[in-house]
């Protein structure tokens, strides 16, 4: 069955996740995440994790996909930030 709702959700997921990618590429290439606060990294990652649980509860593929992927990217930024701290 063609499901318009899931299509709209999938387009939403692609757009908001893509919007976040240039930031990740920038952080990856500079290897620096000094300008992100830990409060933002932890707060945003916790929020995305809860969206992921919410998406699983609603059996929503777009919610799980978008938030799972974006959470991985935020954790990557967190890892780069943590590694940078070790270097100093």
38 binds its own copies (CB under 8 A): no
Q: For residue 79, what is the enclosing H or E element?
A: helix 61-87
Q: How far is CA 88 from CA 2, 14, 16, 32, 75, in A?
A: 54, 36, 33, 12, 20
Residue of the chain from 1, 29, 31, 48 that contacts its own copies (CB under 8 A): 48
With contact defined as beta carbons under 8 Å apart, do 62 and 6 qualify? Answer: yes
Q: Which is nearer to its own copies, 11 or 87 (CB)?
A: 11
Taking contact as CB under 8 A, which single stretch among the options 25-33, 44-52, 75-83 is the one that binds its own copies? Answer: 44-52
Binding site for its own copies (CB under 8 A): 4-5, 8-9, 11-16, 18-19, 22, 40, 43-44, 46-51, 53-54, 57-58, 60, 62
């Amino acid at each position: 069955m063609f499901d318009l709702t899931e299509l709209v959700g999938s387009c939403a997921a692609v757009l908001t996740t893509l919007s976040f990618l240039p930031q990740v590429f920038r952080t990856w290439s500079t290897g620096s995440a000094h300008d992100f606060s830990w409060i933002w990294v932890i707060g945003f990652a916790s929020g995305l994790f809860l969206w992921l649980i919410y998406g699983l509860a609603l059996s929503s593929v777009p919610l799980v996909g978008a938030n799972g992927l974006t959470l991985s990217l935020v954790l990557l930024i967190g890892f780069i930030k943590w590694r940078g701290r070790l270097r100093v």
